[in-house]
C-alpha cells in the first residue's frame, strides 16, 4: 500500500511553510465554500499555481485534481511521490525541480497518453498509465508462460457495458429503496448523526472516533478524531476535505452526501445502465452504473436478494486515468424503520480504513458550521 496521501499532506504542509502555495490553497478552499455547483469556476489552474507544470493536460486541472492525478500516476507505477520528487515526504521536499529522470519521463508519458487517445481512440480515454504499467515501473512486453496457464486475474472494467438478461436499473433501484425503508420513510429522513470508531485510518494505525454529520439533500461531513493523539490532527482535517474538495473530489463527495439519503438515488445520477453481475468475496451482485456531472462515474453493487447496496465505486476523471474511491457497506441495521450500514470500508488510491458505527441519531439539528469548509478565516 502506497501512502502517498500522507506524503501529500506532508508535502502540502512543507510547501505551504515555504510560502505561496499555502495561500493559494486556502484561496481554492474558500472558493469551495461557495455553493458546490459554482465553486470550480473560480479555482486556479495547476499551470498557474505551480512553478513547473507544463503538460498540456495536467496544467489545466484545478490543484486538487492535479494532486489526484499525481496519485493516479504513482499508483499506476507502484511509485511513491519520492520516486519522482526529491525529498517528497520530508521537510526538504522540492516538487519543482526536474532532477529525477523519472519525472522527466513521466512528463513525456503524460503527453504520449494524450496523443495515443487523440490519434487512435477519437479522444476517448482508452489508454492510461495503468494500461501499460499495471503497477510496474517498466511494463512487460511478453507474456510469462506461467501466466498463460494460470487463472487470469479478473479486473472489472470501470465502464460497465450493458449485460444481457439482467433486471432493469429501475427495478434494482426500486428494490433498494424498498429494502432500506421505502420512499415514504426515506422522505422523512432529513438529517442524521452517526458515531462510532474508525480502525486503521490511512495506515496510521490506532483507533479513532468517527462521526458522520449528514443533512438532506446533499451535505455530509466525516470527522475522524484521534483523541489520544492530538498531534495527528492535521491528517484528520486533510481527510475531512481540506485538501480534497475541488473539482472531481468535490463531485465525488457530493455524490456520497446525496447517497446518504437514498430516497433520491435515481435523481443523483443519470444514464443508468445495468452490467453483468460481479462478485465480491464469492457472492454475485447486481451492478448498476450511473453518470454524474463532469465525467463522474459511479458503479453500485446491490445484493440481488436483500436489495441492499453492498458497494459503491466512484471514479473521478483525470487525464492520466480515472481516480477510484470505493466504499463497502455492510452490517445493515434498522434505525427507526430505515436500514443503515453500520460498517463502512473506505478505500482510495492511498489507503483504506474501516469505520464501525455504534449509534445513529435521526432528524437531529446539526450546527451548519459542521458543513462549512474547515478553513479558518
Ligand atoms: C511518475 C512520476 C511522478 C510521481 C510518482 C509523482 N509526480 Fe508529481 N510531478 C510529476 C511531473 C511530471 C510533474 C510536472 C507535471 C507537468 O509538467 O505538467 C509533477 C509536478 C508536481 C507538482 C508541481 C510542482 C511545481 O511547483 O511545479 C507537485 C506539487 C507534485 N508533482 C506533487 C506530487 C505528489 C504529492 C506526488 C505523490 C502523490 C507526486 N507528485 C508523484 C511526476 C510525478
Ligand atoms: C503505451 C504504453 C505506456 C503507457 C500508456 C505509459 N507508459 Fe510509461 N513506460 C512505457 C514503457 C514501455 C516504458 C519503459 C521504457 C524504457 O525502458 O525505455 C515506460 C517507462 C516509464 C517511466 C520510466 C521508468 C524507468 O525508470 O525506467 C516512467 C516514470 C513512466 N513510464 C511513467 C508513465 C506515466 C506517468 C504514464 C501515464 C501518464 C505512462 N508512463 C504511460 C510504456 C507506457
pLDDT attached to residue 54: 97
Query: Ligand 1 centre from 38 Cα, in Å?
Result: 27
Answer yes or no: is the C-beta of 113 below 6 A from any ligand 2 atom. yes
CA distance 255 to 112: 32
First to last CA, the chain: 36
Could you tell me which of 191, 297, 221, 301 has the C-alpha nearest to residue 252?
A: 297
User: CB under 6 Å to ligand 1: residues?
Assistant: 4, 7-8, 11, 50-55, 58-59, 67, 70-71, 73-74, 77, 79, 81, 83-85, 95-96, 102-103, 106-107
Residue 246's pLDDT band, with cuts at 50, 70 and 90, is: low
pLDDT attached to residue 201: 56
pLDDT attached to residue 373: 55
Closest-lying ligand 2 atom to the alpha carbon of residue 79: 29
pLDDT, mean over the chain:
83
Query: Ligand 1 centre from 139 Cα, in Å?
Result: 20
How far apart, in Å, are the Cα atoms of 351 and each of 80, 113, 201, 203, 281?
A: 13, 26, 8, 7, 20
Contact 84, 93 (CB under 8 A): no
CA distance 353 to 202: 6
Could you tell me which of 133, 3, 169 has the C-alpha nearest to residue 81?
A: 3
Answer yes or no: is the C-beta of 70 below 6 A from any ligand 2 atom. no
* Residue range 191-203, pLDDT digits in tens: 999 999 988 655 5
Residue 178 grid cell: 424498498
CA distance 43 to 143: 45
> Which residue in this structure is represented by grid cell 492535479?
66
User: Of 10-24, 226-240, 338-352, which gets the smallest average pLDDT?
Assistant: 10-24
Other CB atoms within 10 A of residue 189 CB: 22
* Residue range 97-140, pLDDT digits in tens: 999 999 999 999 999 999 999 999 999 999 999 999 999 999 99
Q: Is 307 left (phi over 0), alpha (psi -120 to 50) or beta?
A: left
Residue 44's pLDDT band, with cuts at 50, 70 and 90, is: confident
* Residue range 48-68, pLDDT digits in tens: 999 999 999 999 999 889 999
Contact 110, 117 (CB under 8 A): no
Answer yes or no: is the C-beta of 57 below 6 A from any ligand 2 atom. no
Amino acid at each position: 500500500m502506497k501512502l502517498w496521501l500522507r506524503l501529500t499532506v506532508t508535502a502540502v504542509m512543507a510547501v505551504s511553510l515555504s510560502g505561496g502555495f499555502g495561500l493559494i490553497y486556502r484561496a481554492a478552499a474558500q472558493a469551495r465554500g461557495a455553493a458546490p455547483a459554482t465553486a470550480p469556476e473560480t479555482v486556479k489552474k495547476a499551470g498557474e499555481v505551480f512553478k513547473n507544470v507544463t503538460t498540456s493536460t495536467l496544467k489545466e486541472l484545478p490543484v486538487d485534481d492535479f494532486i489526484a492525478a499525481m496519485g493516479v500516476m504513482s499508483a499506476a507505477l507502484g511509485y511513491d511521490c519520492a520516486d519522482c520528487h526529491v525529498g517528497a515526504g520530508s521537510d526538504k521536499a522540492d516538487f519543482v525541480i526536474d532532477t529525477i529522470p523519472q519525472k522527466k519521463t513521466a512528463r513525456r508519458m503524460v503527453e504520449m497518453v494524450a496523443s495515443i487517445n487523440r490519434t487512435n481512440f477519437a479522444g476517448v480515454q482508452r489508454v492510461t498509465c495503468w494500461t501499460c504499467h499495471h503497477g510496474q515501473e517498466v511494463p512487460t512486453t511478453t507474456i510469462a508462460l506461467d501466466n498463460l496457464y494460470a487463472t487470469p486475474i479478473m479486473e472489472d472494467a470501470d465502464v460497465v457495458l450493458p449485460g444481457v438478461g439482467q433486471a432493469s436499473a429501475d427495478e434494482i433501484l426500486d428494490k433498494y429503496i424498498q429494502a432500506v425503508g421505502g420512499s415514504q420513510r426515506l422522505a422523512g429522513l432529513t438529517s442524521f448523526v452517526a458515531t462510532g470508531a474508525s480502525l486503521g485510518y490511512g495506515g496510521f494505525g490506532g483507533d479513532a472516533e468517527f462521526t458522520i454529520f449528514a443533512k438532506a439533500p446533499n451535505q455530509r461531513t466525516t470527522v475522524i478524531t484521534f483523541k489520544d493523539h492530538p498531534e495527528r490532527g492535521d491528517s484528520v482535517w486533510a481527510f475531512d476535505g481540506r485538501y480534497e474538495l475541488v473539482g472531481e473530489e468535490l463531485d465525488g463527495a457530493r455524490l456520497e452526501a446525496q447517497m446518504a439519503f437514498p430516497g433520491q438515488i435515481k435523481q443523483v445520477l443519470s444514464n443508468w445502465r445495468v452490467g453483468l453481475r460481479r462478485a465480491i468475496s464469492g457472492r454475485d451482485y447486481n451492478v448498476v452504473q450511473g453518470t454524474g456531472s463532469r465525467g463522474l462515474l459511479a458503479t453500485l453493487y446491490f445484493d440481488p436478494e436483500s436489495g441492499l447496496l453492498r458497494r459503491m465505486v466512484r471514479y473521478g476523471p483525470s487525464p492520466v486515468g480515472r481516480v477510484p474511491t470505493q466504499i463497502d457497506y455492510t452490517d445493515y441495521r434498522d434505525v427507526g424503520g430505515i436500514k443503515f450500514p453500520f460498517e463502512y470500508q473506505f478505500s482510495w488510491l492511498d489507503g483504506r480504513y474501516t469505520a464501525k458505527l455504534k449509534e445513529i441519531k435521526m432528524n437531529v439539528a446539526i450546527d451548519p458550521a459542521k458543513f462549512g469548509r474547515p478553513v479558518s478565516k
